[in-house]
Amino acid sequence: MAEVEARTDLPFRFRPVARDPAGNVDRYAPLCADILRTTGARHIVGCVTSWSRKEVIPVLERAGGALWYPCPYEGFEASEHVVYAHAAPNQHLLPLLGWAFTRFGRSGYLVGSNYIWGWEMNRVARDLLSDAGGSILGDRYLPLGDTDVSRIIAEIRATRPAFVLNSLIGPSSYRFLNAFADLGREDAHFTAATCPVLSCNLTECELTALGPVAEGLIAAGPYFRDPATAGAFGSSFEAAACDAVRTLAAKLAAGSPDADLATLLARPTERGLRIDPATQHAVLPVVIAQVRGGVFRPVARWEAVAPDPYLSRRTAAGTPTRPPLEVVS
Amino acid sequence: MRRKLLVPELGGARAVILHRPHPTVQALARQLIAIGLAVDTHWPELEPAALAADYTFFDADMGYDAQFPWKPGAAPMPMIALLGSEAPGRIGWALSQGADAHLLKPVGDNGVYAALLIARHAFEARRTLASEIEALRARLADRQTVVRAVTLLIAEGHTEDAAYDQLRQRAMAGRETIEAAAHRVLARHKEDGHGRRRSS
């Protein structure tokens, strides 16, 4: 927003209004209503889970507001009141698994937190593995916050998958990754070269909490921080939120700022994200990166992957199967 | 056992909407296009080209039988009713058209994907059951054929058990139903009978 404020060519100014639900899902809808009712703001950048996003959508519908959602999600939604600025499954999970199948094999162990993200990620992964003639060696869920990973580790040890798909979040994920690193010290099969842990929700935000056990983890996302670039974003969440603000500024500047969201998005603009008007999801690069030396290093990259939130164009042209750019290191 | 939901191929599928021009049609078309379907809108009648559609959404408020190029309940694709009035008469009419799922008006920006999947699932289940029932009815109608075939085999010197057993084995060898095997036994007997009459 400071960048938009610093520009002198725009006929409007951005005034930040912040409300903090402190992660309490029941606070999102009232705070969203409060913003739209009392501050005059029409565009909200925020929410970090599908659960919180679904809480605010009815409020946006009633008050005519718009949400710019800056996090990856599991797809199967296309609200007229939401711009999806981060990746949908065809921009994270599909390319990640396609890439992993050819390098590590088609036997996967799937683990996730017991809510919509974990369920849907694992459902899509099961379908992809079945379609590819692979095998699903396990499919387990932990309640949010649960750190009892012993059974999962025992099953992984027994089934020796070619990769693990980790859709756990928070403390469950940290505990699991620590236990998996312990397993790797006992049996070298369970290390990144032969049985990597893949994730679509691992970003730079988690690296400090994970410490050395993050080494070798592989993640997919639209952006990873390049430490060699000055002023780089801390993570894809930051990048998506900033892109959302830039895109909003560009769309507002291209005509009347009071237009509704569909009209705004229909305006062709140079700056900011390319938003697919049919789904209001961003066209994004897909990057697969591995943690090496405490930093995400890109290993594969696709440019401008069109969104397909319902995975209905999966077999049609446009879904990447092989990256045009392979980063060899 | 829990049956796995079959997710249909929706990319490039065709939906027709039978509804007068209305914001509901726009909202519905937007969602269908977002999901990846191609959309045609018709009113007041579905044109014959609609027979090739993969899904039909129809207005239950102002709809009537003559709008459709098929008999009530005989649509060749999943049908989704667009309900405004919840009056029993209208719901009854939507059901008589073979509604596999419904959406309440005004249609917003959710519910459409679920309606597509539920309607497809219900339609396929209905079609599978209908063909199973048809096959069972046909077999039921052939009870007399089976009895006559067994009687014939008994007349040829088999015990009743052996006659049944032979019929079952013929069916297995021919990979056909026991009724079809019975038909063939009767046909053969008829031929033999004619042959005997000719030779005598």
Model confidence over A74-96: pLDDT tens digits?
999 999 999 999 999 999 999 99
Distance from CA of B28 to the nearest CA of A (A): 12
B34–A79 CB contact, under 8 Å: no
A313–B36 CB contact, under 8 Å: yes
Q: Which amino acid is at A238?
A: E
pLDDT for the residue A328: 53
C-alpha to C-alpha distances, A46 to A28, A85, A242, B79, nearest whole angstrom: 10, 10, 11, 38
Distance from CA of A124 to the nearest CA of B (A): 11
Instruction: Report the residue from B10, B12, B27 with minimal CB separation from A310.
Output: B10
Retrieve residue A246's tokens.
Answer: 């830039």
Digit-coded pLDDT (tens) for B56-115: 999 999 999 999 999 999 999 999 999 999 999 999 999 999 999 999 999 988 899 999
The mean of the pLDDT values for chain A is 92
Chain B residues closer than 8 Å to A78 by CB: 31, 34-35, 109
The answer, for A78 touching chain B at a CB cutoff of 8 Å, is yes
Q: What is the mean pLDDT of residues A168-192?
A: 97
- Rounded to whole angstroms, how far apart are CA atoms B135 and B152? 25
The residue that leads in pLDDT, A90 or A314, is A90
B36-41: Cβ within 8 A, 24+ apart: B36/A308, B36/A310, B36/A312, B36/A313, B36/B10, B36/B11, B36/B12, B37/A312, B37/B10, B37/B12, B37/B13, B38/B12, B38/B13, B38/B14, B39/B14, B39/B15, B40/B14, B40/B15, B40/B16, B41/B16, B41/B17
Report whether pLDDT(A3) > 70.
yes
Digit-coded pLDDT (tens) for B4-16: 667 888 999 999 9
The answer, for A127 touching chain B at a CB cutoff of 8 Å, is yes
A316–B34 CB contact, under 8 Å: no
Digit-coded pLDDT (tens) for A101-149: 999 999 999 999 999 999 999 999 999 999 999 999 999 999 999 999 9
The answer, for B118 touching chain A at a CB cutoff of 8 Å, is no
The answer, for B2 touching chain A at a CB cutoff of 8 Å, is no
pLDDT for the residue A241: 94
Interface test with A, best of B7, B33, B54, B107 (most A CBs within 10 A): B7
The answer, for B89 touching chain A at a CB cutoff of 8 Å, is no
The mean of the pLDDT values for chain B is 91
pLDDT for the residue A52: 92
Residue A74: half-sphere exposure toward Cβ, Cα within 13 Å: 18
The answer, for A183 touching chain B at a CB cutoff of 8 Å, is no
Q: Which residues in chain B belong to E strands, given as ranges?
A: 14-18, 38-42, 55-59, 79-83, 101-104
pLDDT for the residue A178: 98
pLDDT for the residue B4: 64
The answer, for B44 touching chain A at a CB cutoff of 8 Å, is no
Least confident among A124-133, A200-209, A222-231: A222-231
Q: Which residues contact A149 (CB under 8 A, 6 or more apart)?
A: A142, A172, A175, A176, A179
High-pLDDT (> 70) share of chain A, %? 95
The answer, for A140 touching chain B at a CB cutoff of 8 Å, is no
pLDDT for the residue A237: 94
The answer, for A120 touching chain B at a CB cutoff of 8 Å, is no
Digit-coded pLDDT (tens) for A28-42: 999 999 999 999 899
The answer, for B104 touching chain A at a CB cutoff of 8 Å, is no
Report whether pLDDT(B1) > 50.
no
Q: What is the ipTM of this complex?
A: 0.80
| Total beta-carbon pairs less than 8 A apart between chain A and chain B | 43
Q: Which of residues 265-324 of A touch B (CB under 8 A)?
A: 278-280, 308-316
Chain B residues closer than 8 Å to A279 by CB: 34
Predicted confidence band at A20 (pLDDT cuts at 50, 70, 90)? very high
Residue A23: half-sphere exposure toward Cβ, Cα within 13 Å: 1
The answer, for B193 touching chain A at a CB cutoff of 8 Å, is no
Query: In B48-86, which positions are buried (b, 16+ CB within 10 angstroms) versus exposed (e)?
Result: eebeebbbbbbbbbebeeebbebeeeebebbbbbbbeee
Least confident among A3-17, A239-253, A296-310: A3-17
Distance from CA of B10 to the nearest CA of A (A): 5
Report whether pLDDT(A206) > 50.
yes
Interface test with A, best of B113, B116, B118, B120 (most A CBs within 10 A): B113
Instruction: Report the residue from A77, A127, A313 with minimal CB separation from B11.
Output: A313
B30–A315 CB contact, under 8 Å: no
pLDDT for the residue A324: 53
